[in-house]
Amino acid sequence: MQMWTDLSRKIMRGIALALGAAADAFEGKRAGDPFWVLRIIGYPKVTHANGHDMPKNDIGCGAHTDYGLLTLVNQDDDITALQVRNKSGEWISAPPIPGTFVCNIGDMLKILSNGLYGSTLHRVINSSPKYRVCVAYFYETNFDAAIEPLDICVKRTGGTKKFERAVYGEHLVSKVQTNFVKEDELNS
Ligand SMILES: O=C(O)CCC(=O)C(=O)O
Ligand SMILES: [Fe+2]
Ligand 1, CB within 6 Å, residue ranges: 39, 41, 61, 66, 73, 75, 82, 122, 124, 134, 136
Q: What pLDDT digit, counting tens, does each position of 58-100 carry? A: 678 889 999 999 999 999 999 999 999 999 999 999 999 999 9
Q: DSSP per residue over the chain, as a string?
A: -HHHHHHHHHHHHHHHHHTTS-TTTTSHHHHSS--EEEEEEEEPPP-STTS-SS-----SEEEE-BSSSEEEEEE-TT---EEEE-TTS-EEE----TT--EEEEBHHHHHHTTTSS----EEE---SSS-EEEEEEEE---TT-EE---HHHHHHTTS---S--EEHHHHHHHHHHHHHS-HHHHH-
Q: What is the position in ligand 1's atom list of the atom closest to the CA of 136? A: 9
pTM of the model: 0.90
pLDDT at 146: 97
Give this complex's ipTM.
0.98
Q: What is the position in ligand 1's atom list of the atom closest to the CA of 138? A: 10
Q: What pLDDT digit, counting tens, does each position of 115-161 carry? A: 999 999 999 999 888 999 999 999 999 999 999 999 999 999 999 99
Q: How far is the CA of 175 from the centre of ligand 2 (A)?
A: 12
Q: What is the position in ligand 1's atom list of the atom closest to the CA of 102? A: 3
